[in-house]
């Protein structure tokens, strides 16, 4: 029986265990460049024992940032700072991963501790937002500019160029962000995509942006390194994206060569009703993994070691990604190893051995 501390391989990349650190925005960059905060934040999670540490959503174009303080990967000058992050993660035993993203109609906002609200046109740092259709996320958000087909193709090319920079920076895994109401997610859902061209209407048309994006990323990414895709498996609203849609999409992505589906949910509709109980998204990973036959990651309020181990042991997911719990406890994998009696299977830094 597979457990949380068993290793796992994706293409030519080996993870020492089934614990990953989710990509979590730190809102601590300037013009997309890393700051002193990032290597300390990410390096501590690698020291903490995770098999994979994923760098936060990094914007493929400037207008693809959520806030002006988001990380970027839209220009070659970003590579050196990102390379430092990959090196720090790898040097401390974890596999370095990075999520590449475009925030779409949810872009141009203040960072959370500055209120998190959409920026106004007269505020410094404001920029216009884009989307599949001129439908705002909320009354407070901008009405997005509807992307033309040429603009969509330019965005796809930007994702491909970002993958090239991620490769040059030394990352071993790249994840395409297709969740939480950001650009790709908003194309997938019929509640936000009302186009009538080849990128709207039918399921295949609404998924076309993601499929095109994956093809562009795969063309720039080494064959021996995996590509993950994060999706919102349910929109949690009537008439929205469903888990059945996600399984169908997972089948398409599997056939295209995607290596793992990162199964989150929500974020595309203001009226979502999300039952946030421990492990509430695990059934999504279970459905994707076992109905579509593709590796899946479980995320969302998984905080107890025994629960995380059970998710893997029962075959509900191949990876468990820890998010906010890792902000509270950077060394959660070490704590989990002790709780599960697996300390001998996880390298504890010599500097910390006296505590174990």
Picking from 123, 145, 143, 149, the residue whose alpha carbon sits closest to that of residue 205 is: 149
Closest CA to 71 of 29, 17, 42: 29
Beta strands 13-15; 8-10: pairing state: antiparallel
The SS3 call for residue 37 is helix
> In whole angstroms, what is the distance from residue 163 CA to residue 176 CA?
9
d(CA 165, CA 158): 11
CA 278 to chain centroid: 20
Sign of CA dihedral 323, 327, 332, 333: positive
Q: What b-and-e string marks burial along 265-296, b requiring 16 or more CB atoms within 10 Å of the CB?
A: bbbbbeebeeeeeebebbebbbbbbeebebbb
Q: Report in angstroms the alpha-carbon separations of 315 from 40, 310, 320, 337.
A: 34, 8, 11, 19
The reply to whether 182 belongs to the active site is yes
Residue of 18, 110, 43, 89 lying closest to 299 (CA atoms) = 18
Query: DSSP characters for 8-34?
Result: EEETTEEESSSEEEPP------BTTB-
CB contact set of 314 (below 8 Å; sequence gap of 6+): none
Give the residue among 356, 354, 330 at the shortest CA–CA distance from 342. Answer: 356
Active-site position among 27, 182, 199, 331: 182
Catalytic residues: 182
């Amino acid at each position: 029986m597979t457990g949380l501390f068993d290793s796992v391989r994706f293409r030519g990349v080996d993870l020492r265990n089934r614990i990953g650190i989710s990509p979590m925005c730190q809102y601590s960059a300037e013009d997309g460049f890393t700051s002193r905060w990032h290597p300390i934040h990410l390096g501590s999670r690698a020291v903490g024992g995770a098999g994979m540490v994923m760098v936060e959503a990094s914007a493929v174009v400037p207008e693809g940032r959520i806030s002006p303080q988001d990380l970027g990967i839209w220009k070659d000058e970003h590579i050196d700072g990102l390379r430092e992050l990959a090196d720090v993660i790898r040097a401390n035993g974890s596999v370095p991963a990075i999520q590449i993203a475009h925030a779409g109609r949810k872009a141009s906002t203040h960072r959370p501790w500055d209120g998190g609200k959409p920026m106004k046109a007269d505020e410094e740092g404001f920029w216009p937002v884009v989307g599949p259709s001129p439908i705002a996320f909320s009354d407070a958000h901008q009405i997005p500019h509807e992307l033309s087909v040429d603009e969509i193709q330019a965005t796809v090319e930007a994702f491909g160029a970002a993958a090239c920079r991620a490769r040059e920076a030394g990352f071993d895994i790249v994840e395409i962000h297709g969740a939480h109401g950001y650009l790709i997610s908003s194309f997938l859902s019929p509640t936000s995509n009302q186009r009538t061209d080849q990128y709207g209407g039918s399921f295949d048309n609404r998924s076309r942006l993601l499929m095109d994006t994956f093809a562009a990323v795969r063309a720039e990414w080494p064959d021996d390194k995996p590509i993950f895709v994060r999706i919102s498996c349910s929109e949690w609203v009537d008439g929205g994206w469903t888990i059945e849609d996600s399984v169908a999409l997972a089948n398409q992505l599997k056939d295209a060569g995607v290596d793992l589906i990162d199964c989150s949910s929500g974020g595309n509709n203001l009226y979502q009703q999300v039952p946030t109980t421990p492990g509430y998204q695990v059934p999504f990973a279970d459905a994707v993994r076992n109905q579509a036959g593709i590796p899946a990651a479980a995320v969302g309020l998984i905080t107890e070691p025994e629960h995380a181990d059970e998710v893997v042991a029962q075959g509900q997911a191949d990876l468990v990604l820890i998010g906010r719990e890792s902000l509270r406890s950077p060394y959660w994998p070490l704590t989990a190893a002790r709780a599960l009696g697996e300390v001998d299977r996880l390298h504890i830094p010599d500097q910390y051995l006296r505590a174990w």
